[in-house]
Copies of this chain bind each other. A is one copy, B any other.
Amino acid sequence: MAKIETQMLKGTLDNAILMIIAQGETYGYALLQQLQDAGFGVIPEGTVYPLLLKMQRNGLIVAHRHAIATGPDRKYYRITAAGEAHLQAFLPQWKQLTTAMNRLIAGQEG
């Protein structure tokens, strides 16, 4: 999986993570793999963990720590109503940006 230019992820990665959480409770370390599976390439821990903390501070997600049989505790995240609202605000912006870009790209190739 190719690595996406990091600048391009700004303002997008957080919403990607929020969508993954919205589609099923998960925890940080698992998210690293889920992001890769989704096609974002390798996203380092130093990116994901601070992001999760920030989203928690902003009330977009809530966490609850869970001890498991084997290995360190996990922090599971769930999306909040504010998080859902945030996603609803993001979607049209993403649409606008990709529409504008794809039109330029079409003019580039065609």
Which residues of A come within 8 Å of B, CB atoms? 2, 4-12, 15-16, 19-20, 22-23, 38-41, 87, 90-94, 96-105, 107-108
Contact = CB atoms under 8 A, between A and B. Distances in A.
23 contacts: A2-B92, A2-B96, A4-B93, A4-B96, A5-B11, A5-B93, A6-B11, A8-B11, A8-B93, A8-B94, A10-B11, A12-B97, A12-B101, A19-B104, A19-B105, A19-B107, A23-B104, A23-B108, A38-B104, A39-B100, A39-B103, A40-B100, A98-B102
B93 A16 contact: no
A10 B2 CA distance: 19
A98 B93 CA distance: 13
